[in-house]
Amino acid sequence: MSTTKPIAVVTGGAGFIGSHMVDLLLASGYRVRILDNLQGGHLSNLAHVAKNPDVVLEQGDIRTLEPESALFQDVQQVYHFAGIGDIVPSMEQPIDYMATNVQGTVRVLEAARHGGKGSLQRFVYAASSSCYGLAATPTREEFPMQPQYPYALSKNLGEQVVMHWRQVYGMPVNSMRIFNAYGPRVRTTGAYGAVFGVFFRQKLAGTPYTVVGDGTQTRDFIYVTDVVRAFYMAACSPHEGEIFNVGANNPQSVLRLVELLGGEVVFVPKRPGEPDCTWAETGKINQLVGWYPQVDFSTGVRNMLQNIERWQDAPLWDVQSIAKATESWFKYLGKEG
């Protein structure tokens, strides 16, 4: 292993976005140290770099990470993706979400602060656009925080922690509010969630796509390679202490995704607490960092379809199983007032 290459740590580096971050860093000449507990991440996402001498994978949990962790020794850049997602489980297990996404972030910050003493150039936090809640669109970074469920709250609190570590300890940080990321290796868990995993499995099975509401709701889908390029450019930028939206600034309807995939649809009830539109106003990152997305939506979907068999083992959802899986959603978020 070369000793002259700069060092980057990627937490959650076996996950969807994290593994693409690893790819970009290796291509950019870094030694990459990965911390992942392999709960949401998968070794298959790193199989193509498993024998690369510049990659180190430590299987561990950020909730037990120690400040003196050797993994962070002499690190130049830290990319913090590790955490737990999904909306419904966050309502059912809020303690786990706060412990991982908030306190876990504190532990990663402390490991970076101690290990990166004299070497750390940037700590980049993976925040979530869910912090905006039911926001006006297009949504700018200074808009109010209106988290609608514990996952969104936990990610927003994590961002506050990151900014606080800058204020108190002078850590060089940036926070990236990711909108609707998609692309190869997109996360599929046992929980009902992101539309791509649901629809791709349904396409493989030849069953109807379960479209929420009337399908006219729009999402600012942003391709994963564009996301990690935004993170890397923000890490290398002279601008720090900043919060950036990371989206395509070009919302697409769920019905448009169905059109690109082809097939029949069946409709399921619209869910409370979900915006009709997510739309990142990206002027800030365009101007300060010089980042613009490069992969348009139809190209991104086409790229994913080339490896659709990866979703063969994903859960197959239908109207009945979705109703069962979203009971907590309606129970907790369906109240008036």
Name the pTM for this structure.
0.96
Rounded Cα gap, residues 155 and 159, in angstroms: 6
Give the CATH superfamily of 7-181+222-246: NAD(P)-binding Rossmann-like Domain (3.40.50.720)
| Contact assessment for residue 182 and residue 199, using Cβ atoms and an 8 Å cutoff | no
Rounded Cα gap, residues 162 and 260, in angstroms: 39
Three-state DSSP class for residue 280? strand
Percent of the chain with pLDDT over 90: 88
Helix (H) / strand (E) element for 56: namely strand 55-59
| Contact assessment for residue 175 and residue 244, using Cβ atoms and an 8 Å cutoff | yes
pLDDT tens digits along 14-33: 999 999 999 999 999 999 99
Enumerate the domain spans of the chain. 7-181+222-246, 184-219+250-279+295-326
* Mean pLDDT of the region 114-139: 97
151 is catalytic: yes
Rounded Cα gap, residues 23 and 27, in angstroms: 6
Q: What is the pLDDT of residue 333?
A: 87
Q: What is the pLDDT of residue 193?
A: 67
- CA dihedral (217, 315, 16, 94) in degrees, to 10, reads 80
Instruction: Give the Cβ contact number of residue 331 at 10 Å.
Output: 11
pLDDT over 60 at 2, yes or no: no
Percent of the chain with pLDDT over 70: 96
Q: What is the pLDDT of residue 190?
A: 61
Give the CATH superfamily of 184-219+250-279+295-326: UDP-galactose 4-epimerase, domain 1 (3.90.25.10)
Q: What is the pLDDT of residue 337?
A: 44
pLDDT over 80 at 336, yes or no: no
DSSP string, 143-207: SPP---SHHHHHHHHHHHHHHHHHHHH---EEEEEE-EEESTT----SSS--HHHHHHHHHHHTP
Confidence of residue 1 (pLDDT cuts 50, 70, 90): very low
Lowest mean pLDDT among 51-65, 127-141, 153-167, 261-275: 261-275
Catalytic residue from among 97, 149, 151, 192: 151
Q: What is the pLDDT of residue 191?
A: 63
pLDDT over 80 at 217, yes or no: yes
DSSP string, 95-155: HHHHIIIIIHHHHHHHHHHHHTTTT--EEEEEEEGGGG-S--SSBPTTSPP---SHHHHHH
pLDDT tens digits along 130-159: 999 999 999 999 999 999 999 999 999 999
* Mean pLDDT of the region 57-76: 98
